Amino acid sequence: MKIRLAAPLQPDSIVDGEGIRVVLWTQGCSHHCKGCHNQETWDFKGGYLVDLEEIKEELNSIQGQDGITLSGGDPLFQVDACLEIVKYCKKINLNVWCYTGYTFEQLLALNNPKIIEFLNYVDVLVDGKFILEQRSLDLKFKGSENQRVIDVQNSLKENKVILVEKYKDKKNYDFKKKTAVYL
């Protein structure tokens, strides 16, 4: 199986999730968020194809990483390949973060067994489209106030979104009213 990447694996990131992480930059995204800092990853035919076995070999050779972050593009557009990667990462004891333009609720509503299985291997999901008008440099591990840093395993158990407590903002985003609500 192959995956379309935007760039080679990037080890030693400290800005794409907690700890020291290797980042897998997927290619392809149809969210087209205004102000996206990775617009070059939108083209589904861009980037280059890599065999998953090569990714696994490279992951084995990278030392000192706490986890892996899947970003892009949007990894969920290549859920089959990303599922195989996160399964492997769990085998080699890496925690898994994933950035997606979909909300957690949208992913569940798709009722796609592959996406549900993928989520079962993800520790933290940063969800929601980047909204330029809600951009803030004060946010930890996300770009706009509407995005959430979700504890996926507890959310799946509780059947509701559980945020990672230490990354909660002073404001929560009300998706129905599309406004920020102070807690």
pLDDT tens digits, one per residue of 10-36: 999 999 999 999 999 999 999 988 888
pTM of the model: 0.90
Average pLDDT over residues 145-167: 96
Whole-number average pLDDT of the chain: 92
128-150 core/surface letters (b: 16 or more CB in 10 A; e: else): bbbbeebeeeeeebbbbbbbbbb
3-class DSSP state for residue 162?
Answer: coil
Report all structural domains of the chain as residue ranges with CATH numbers, in order of start: 2-182 (3.20.20.70)
pLDDT tens digits, one per residue of 48-59: 999 999 999 999
In whole angstroms, what is the distance from residue 129 CA to residue 34 CA?
A: 9
In whole angstroms, what is the distance from residue 125 CA to residue 69 CA?
A: 10
Torsion of CA 172, 13, 129, 151, to 10 degrees: -50
pLDDT at 33: 86
User: Is the model's pLDDT at 96 over the cut of 80?
Assistant: yes
pLDDT tens digits, one per residue of 61-87: 999 999 999 999 999 999 999 999 999
